[in-house]
Amino acid sequence: MYSCLDLSGHVVLFELGQLYPGITMEFGKTRGRVTPQELNPSSGPKPKRVPKMVGRRKKEKVKRKKNKANIEELKKEVVMDDHKLTLEELSRRYSVDLTKGLRPEKAQEILDRDGPNTLTPPPTTPEWVKFCKQLFGGFSILLWTGAILCFVAYGIQTYFNEEPTKDNLYLGIVLAVVVFITGCFSYYQEAKSSKIMESFKSMVPQQALVIRGGEKMQINVQNVVVGDLVEVKGGDRIPADIRLISAQGCKVDNSSLTGESEPQSRFPHFTHENLLETRNICFFSTNCVEGTARGIVIATGDSTVMGRIASLTSGLAVGQTPIATEIKHFIHIITMVAVFLGVSFFGLSLMLGYSWLKAVIFLIGIIVANVPEGLLVTVTVCLTLTAKRMAKKNCLVKNLEAVETLGSTSIICSDKTGTLTQNRMTVAHLWFDKTTYEADTSEEQTVNTFAKDSDTWFILARIAGLCNRADFKPDQETLPIAKRATTGDASESALLKFIEQSYSSVKEMREKSPKVAEIPFNSTNKYQISIHLREDSSQTHVLLMKGAPERILAFCSSYLLNGQEYSMDEEMKEAFQNAYLELGGLGERVLGFCFLNLPNTFSKGFKFNTDEVNFPMENFCFVGLISMIDPPRPAVPEAVCKCRSAGIKVIMVTGDHPITAKAIAKGVGIISEGTETAEDTTAQLKVHVRQIDSRDVKAIVVHGSDLKDMSSAQLDEILRNYTEIVFARTSPQQKLIIVEGCQRQGNVVAATGDGVNDSPALKKADIGIAMGITGSDVSKQAADMILLDDNFASIVTGVEEGRLIFDNLKKSIAYTLTSNIPEITPFLLFIILGIPLPLGTITILCIDLGTDMVPAISLAYESAESDIMKRAPRDPKNDKLVNYRLIGMAYGQIGMIQALAGFFTYFVILAENGFKPADLLGIRHDWENSYVNDLEDSYGQQWTFEQRKILEFTCQTGFFVSIVIVQWADLIICKTRRNSVFQQGMKNKILIFGILEETFLAAFLCYTPGMDMALRMYPLKIFWWLCAIPYSILIFIYDEVRKFAIRNHPGGWLERETYY
């Protein structure tokens, strides 16, 4: 951190100068720095931004180095002082007239200086860089290396005029083409999902109402400048960070900044030291819900609180995705195998008397032969398929690798509002006649089971319906009541809907008893009164009141029980208290209701004065309580339960009140039934918190203010020791700290979020999940995945898909790698035994990029062997995608059987054409010599070069067909890792199609006229197709036996050595 003490004694943090201009916005007289403005005396008193400019220049230099510091800083709270200033000070600082606003010229000047009021979009990677990343990232490296080695080998061959075969050249080209095409494919896939991203962006330019030179004008939001006097009204988006100077009933929705969806009132008074908490600041890109306000712009664009968070998000370093790590590990293994084989056969061929040059060509050939050409395509397609499937289940994955990350997730840090809950206040409980009734809070709200025949209920319903300012928006008659949009605040809307649903039409009710006067709710009174004409005797009035229960009770001298009025007694008061505590303890917002039939003196036409109250305000009759909550989404408890059985810890991070948070956490099962927090236990046992052994307590609710004072070690301890954790009252920045804490434990963390403020956490998390409906653009940018329906349950289906694809990728890779052995061994034996080459480059490519492709991909459609949501998340350290057991199985066992099958066919074809196996040893030299045209076979017949080459290629075709046939068996055994195929069944239609496809393709390649010219593949006698069948059966039986042993001896030697 660069800091320096300026003359006025303020610590100016240059680092934050740009990011936190507010810090430097000290109301200073002179600054210790000579700046152009200072040198020019006519420029007036506006030097407050000087440090920012100095800072910016400095910052450029130190940006890289200081990135870390920035991010540390981000996690701390914002320091600004504009909210503490008096209006005069404010006016002076921004040299603006508080009624007339800036002069237009001045505004233009500032605009030129500061730039437009827009968020700098996160530095988007140029398209070509993205493309190159696809082209050269991860797996592609292996293939590129192979291609380059091929070209090197070809170069050596041509340079030294060695055998003029162009195989290496072709192989190199094919490899390059494969990587290129796959790169294009994945680039296209990603581009497609980013297209969807772009469609989220609203293109409508926002307008702002500013007052400049005393005139009101509508301007584009991007032209708003610091010091502008702006006016906002209900429905507007706040155009910049604004310090209010006047307000009328202004409420803002800060959810995109703080995550708290409850509208907060805004007024010009300074209420809190903390900028984010104080009530006289409105923040850029939040929404004004109702009322109007005027204020001075104190920050624009990237300098706003929102802008700083957004711009810093891009500075966060992101770790590798688990699948990328896996692929790296896989490349290591493959490289090791390849180099080991290559070097040992290099030595061997030298010992056999090959020339150095030949040996080097062999070395390269063997290394390249180990490259699984088709795997890149297979993996990409498998991931794409899963991404598609996830998108269908409302998880839009932005980059392919995130598909698997979700499956490895071991902790989900979830938002509460909107993700776990419906983001809609709903009546949950009623209390009247000294009884608590439960209301239906499900999304459908069909059944209502409470005493509707009680007279108290009628009165309660009338109060709730009449003493209520909310109303349905027009033209929604066709929609179910629960889905209709309303005007008014969340609680009143909840009451409105509830009454409409379980009582009668509120509209009619209001028509019958028109409202005569009302005192709206305010935070000091904490009640709301409305006076209506009575429905039964239209000449008299009734006073209806609702509000905070304790306030309501204070007005009452009687209460209603089954429609009868009784005078208030201690027993009732106690019952009330208990009910209030009970409902409050459920995290619900409780409202009390009472009424008073006004005496005849207030007959029709009486002028009620609500400012100087001219009607009775005592001896009301208490009716009951109604409590509301934002209820959990219906599918969430099940989803949380699934997570729990899947070993995934769900942590709730919310800005809400701890009690509400805990209630919802209990409701959805994040804090499971029967588990108590330390506080619960203490309350029960009546002992102090310290006396409880923290090891016995599994659940904890951490308050944001406690979190602020915690060291990372303490946080780690909490994350380690508690299985059920709720973070309440957290500031958005703390989410990042929590995510990092989880990652320190070695967890793969998924974090959800919708606000701009969440984006650092989303970026930092291994998989950031943004909300498709409520999410801000910035959060969607930062996220890896977008939840199209905002539903937590969708994450869990995503996890399931992610886990499945990990398993299936294993199978797919096992399948693909197996055929590597029958592809390499021919070359090895060609070298050491000197036999004609049993399998050529073209046929290898036909297998890897032809016949193996569809079957390998079809394994992605394989259903899970057991309930994958019942096992613990993958341990990224020990459970690798490709481990030595998989290699052992694929290379050491199944691959070897396959190779034998191929060789058997090869020897059969040669023997039946006259070359018996014994005569083949060492024949290579003459065989490959195109000038030897009278090579003798075992029968004394003589062969020209071309004749025996055709025979050789026929053998290669036979070898190829044999591999296809043994790959049938391999595919079937790769369907399962533990279960028998007979348990798993053959339900995977794509897989059956794959088997047929590879067979037809093999037959096509073998028998199509012209293939002898194009690919040098020759027709086979039918019998040669059958040679590999015994080996195919052997593979199947061997693996069934192996799996049988694994199932019957869990943890046994065979499982430890061969279960991949």
* Cα of 768 vs its chain's centroid, Å: 3
Write phi, then psi, for 538 (nearest 5 degrees).
Answer: -70, 0
Q: From the CB of 962, what's the least distance to other proteins, in Å? A: 12
The residue within the footprint of other proteins, chosen from 472, 943, 959, 1060 (CB under 8 A), is 943
- DSSP states of 205-224 as a string? PPEEEEEETTEEEEEEGGG-
946 belongs to the binding site for other proteins (CB under 8 A): yes
Q: From the CB of 32, what's the least distance to other proteins, in Å? A: 32
C-alpha–C-alpha distance, residues 530 and 510, integer Å: 12
The residue within the footprint of other proteins, chosen from 333, 883, 914, 1026 (CB under 8 A), is 914
Q: How many CB atoms lie within 10 A of CB 180?
A: 16
The residue within the footprint of other proteins, chosen from 625, 900, 1017, 1020 (CB under 8 A), is 900
Q: How many CB atoms lie within 10 A of CB 676?
A: 17
931 belongs to the binding site for other proteins (CB under 8 A): yes
C-alpha–C-alpha distance, residues 306 and 300, integer Å: 10
Q: From the CB of 915, what's the least distance to other proteins, in Å? A: 9
Size of the site for other proteins (CB under 8 A): 50
The residue within the footprint of other proteins, chosen from 721, 942, 983, 1048 (CB under 8 A), is 942
Tokens 């904890």 map to which residue?
A: 700
131 belongs to the binding site for other proteins (CB under 8 A): no
Q: From the CB of 120, what's the least distance to other proteins, in Å? A: 21
C-beta of residue 588 within 8 angstroms of C-beta of residue 627: yes
68 belongs to the binding site for other proteins (CB under 8 A): yes
Cβ proximity to other proteins, 909 vs 964, nearer residue: 909
Q: How big, in percent rounded to 5, are the helix, strand and coil portions of the chain?
A: 50, 15, 35
Cβ proximity to other proteins, 892 vs 922, nearer residue: 892
912 belongs to the binding site for other proteins (CB under 8 A): yes
- The residue type at 621: C
> Residue 415 catalytic?
yes
1026 belongs to the binding site for other proteins (CB under 8 A): no
564-567 and 649-653: which strand pairing? unpaired
Q: For 319-340, give one letter per residue: b (16+ CB within 10 A) or e.
A: eebbbbbbbeebbebbbebbee
Enter the DSSP assignment of 561. E
C-alpha–C-alpha distance, residues 426 and 664, integer Å: 13
- Comparing C-alpha atoms, which of 728, 767, 729 is closest to residue 750? 767
Q: Nearest 5 degrees, angle CA 44-CA 50-CA 53?
A: 135
3-state secondary structure 718-777: HHHHCCEEEEECCCHHHHHHHHHHHHHCCCCEEEEECCHHHHHHHHHCCEEEEECCCCCH
C-alpha–C-alpha distance, residues 69 and 66, integer Å: 5
Tokens 């301890």 map to which residue?
A: 717
Tokens 């910049």 map to which residue?
A: 240
67 belongs to the binding site for other proteins (CB under 8 A): yes
1036 belongs to the binding site for other proteins (CB under 8 A): no
Helical residues (DSSP H) of 160-202, grouped into ranges: 167-200
Q: From the CB of 913, what's the least distance to other proteins, in Å? A: 5
Candidate list 415, 656, 754, 848, residue with the active-site label? 415
Residue span binding other proteins (CB under 8 A) among the ranges 413-421, 485-493, 862-870, 932-940: 932-940
Cβ proximity to other proteins, 592 vs 732, nearer residue: 732
Cα four-point dihedral sign 951, 956, 962, 965: negative
The residue within the footprint of other proteins, chosen from 144, 904, 993, 1036 (CB under 8 A), is 904
Q: Nearest 5 degrees, angle CA 1009-CA 1012-CA 1015?
A: 110
Cβ proximity to other proteins, 674 vs 940, nearer residue: 940
Residue span binding other proteins (CB under 8 A) among the ranges 3-11, 83-91, 198-206, 934-942: 934-942
98 belongs to the binding site for other proteins (CB under 8 A): no
The residue within the footprint of other proteins, chosen from 933, 983, 1008, 1048 (CB under 8 A), is 933
1022 belongs to the binding site for other proteins (CB under 8 A): no
Contacts of 4 (CB under 8 A, 6+ apart): 11, 12, 14
- Beta-bridged to residue 564, according to DSSP, are 561
C-alpha–C-alpha distance, residues 902 and 600, integer Å: 106
675 belongs to the binding site for other proteins (CB under 8 A): no
355 belongs to the binding site for other proteins (CB under 8 A): no
* Cα of 623 vs its chain's centroid, Å: 47
C-alpha–C-alpha distance, residues 955 and 129, integer Å: 46
* Cα of 936 vs its chain's centroid, Å: 69
Cβ proximity to other proteins, 319 vs 514, nearer residue: 319
The residue within the footprint of other proteins, chosen from 903, 927, 959, 968 (CB under 8 A), is 903
Q: From the CB of 767, what's the least distance to other proteins, in Å? A: 16
897 belongs to the binding site for other proteins (CB under 8 A): yes
Residue span binding other proteins (CB under 8 A) among the ranges 32-40, 67-75, 190-198, 381-389: 67-75
Cβ proximity to other proteins, 857 vs 900, nearer residue: 900
Q: From the CB of 916, what's the least distance to other proteins, in Å? A: 7
Cβ proximity to other proteins, 610 vs 947, nearer residue: 947
674 belongs to the binding site for other proteins (CB under 8 A): no
**x/- letters, 303..332, toward other proteins (CB under 8 A):** -------------xx-xx------------
Q: For 964-979, give one letter per residue: b (16+ CB within 10 A) or e.
A: bbbbbbbbbbbbbbee
Enter the DSSP assignment of 861. G
- Comparing C-alpha atoms, which of 443, 405, 422 is closest to residue 769? 405
**Residues within window 702-761 making contact with other proteins, judged by CB under 8 A:** 740, 743-744
Cβ proximity to other proteins, 147 vs 736, nearer residue: 736
**Does an H or E element contain 19, and which?**
helix 14-19
- Comparing C-alpha atoms, which of 16, 22, 82 is closest to residue 54? 16
Contacts of 737 (CB under 8 A, 6+ apart): 75, 707, 712, 715
Cβ proximity to other proteins, 746 vs 985, nearer residue: 746
The residue within the footprint of other proteins, chosen from 144, 270, 945, 993 (CB under 8 A), is 945
Cβ proximity to other proteins, 182 vs 962, nearer residue: 962
Structure tokens at 199: 């469609």
Tokens 């920035």 map to which residue?
A: 70
Cβ proximity to other proteins, 522 vs 745, nearer residue: 745
C-beta of residue 258 within 8 angstroms of C-beta of residue 732: yes
Cβ proximity to other proteins, 566 vs 1007, nearer residue: 1007
917 belongs to the binding site for other proteins (CB under 8 A): yes
163 belongs to the binding site for other proteins (CB under 8 A): no
Tokens 């290559």 map to which residue?
A: 342
The residue within the footprint of other proteins, chosen from 600, 714, 944, 1048 (CB under 8 A), is 944
940 belongs to the binding site for other proteins (CB under 8 A): yes
Q: From the CB of 658, what's the least distance to other proteins, in Å? A: 29
896 belongs to the binding site for other proteins (CB under 8 A): yes
951 belongs to the binding site for other proteins (CB under 8 A): yes
Residue span binding other proteins (CB under 8 A) among the ranges 137-145, 563-571, 788-796, 925-933: 925-933
773 belongs to the binding site for other proteins (CB under 8 A): no
Cβ proximity to other proteins, 190 vs 970, nearer residue: 970
999 belongs to the binding site for other proteins (CB under 8 A): no
The residue within the footprint of other proteins, chosen from 283, 345, 907, 960 (CB under 8 A), is 907
**Does an H or E element contain 936, and which?**
strand 935-936
Q: From the CB of 855, what's the least distance to other proteins, in Å? A: 24
Residues engaged in binding other proteins (CB under 8 A): 67-68, 71, 316-317, 319-320, 740, 743-744, 892-893, 896-897, 900, 903-904, 907-908, 911-914, 916-917, 931-934, 936-948, 950-951, 954, 1021, 1030, 1034, 1053, 1057
Just list the catalytic residues: 415
